[in-house]
Amino acid sequence: MDGNGRWAASRGLPRVEGHRRGVDAVRRAVRSAIELGVHFLTIYSFSSENWRRPPAEVADLMGLLKLFVRRDLADLHGNNVRVRIIGEREGLSSDIAGLLDEAECRTQANTGLTLIVAFNYGGRQEILRAVRNLARSVAEGALAPDAIDLDVLTGALDTTGIPDPDLVIRTSGEQRLSNFLTWQTAYAEYVIVPEFWPDFDHAAFHAAIEEYHRRDRRFGGLSGKVG
């Protein structure tokens, strides 16, 4: 969800206003996902590297997260949305950790769209945590090294139980992964859109999915399309 700051700067507004409008875009994206029949939607809300931003901006982002959970959790629950949080929980302030736990616990029985919020998340850091946990199991004698295969490592990631993404949408025209779902996106399709995230709407979401359906997904094999 890239381009909040640039959206604000292009309008002579403070960066926090771009982040506020970005939250509005999250709401639209969730509604669009439900309308389009998407089963899993992952939003990259705050990366492990975002802590490097100025303290005032980090504080603004934390405030917007709190506001989103307090204002929107009831609506998400009412729309049968299940919330999953991925990312490092250790070291988070108790109020933030409590809100994340509340969002997951309150919606855990829902069966509609699964909204995965990547918070304090980095793809490399996720893999490192998984490898360390598996190494501990080996050291304790609970796991044999030769038993570690792709499925075992995948099951040790934050996204266990969640299918790999079919489509990654990157806004603002940027053409890099930025440490997002590094393992899981090995065979995802990428759609780069020029809009800054606050301008991302249902039409842009629908167009990205239409583009995805035009792709020929071979997964290393031969084309499944004829003609």
For the question of residue 216 being annotated catalytic, the response is: no
- Please write the tens of the pLDDT for every residue from 192-212: 999 999 999 999 999 999 999
pLDDT category at 127 given cuts 50, 70, 90 is very high
* Residue from 2, 60, 120, 158 carrying the catalytic annotation: 2
Does the pTM exceed 0.85? yes
State the helix-helix crossing angle for 202-214 and 15-36, rounded to 10 degrees. 60
* Residue from 50, 79, 110, 179 carrying the catalytic annotation: 50
Tokens of 117: 């919020």
Q: In this predicted structure, what is the pLDDT of residue 70? A: 85
- Please write the tens of the pLDDT for every residue from 2-49: 999 999 999 999 999 999 999 999 999 999 999 999 999 999 999 999
Beta bridge partners of 190: 168
**Rounded percentage of the chain residues whose pLDDT exceeds 90:** 89
- Please write the tens of the pLDDT for every residue from 142-173: 999 999 999 999 999 999 999 999 999 999 99
For the question of residue 2 being annotated catalytic, the response is: yes
Q: In this predicted structure, what is the pLDDT of residue 227? A: 45
CA distance 159 to 219: 21
Q: Examine the pLDDT at 219 and tell me if it is beyond 90.
A: no
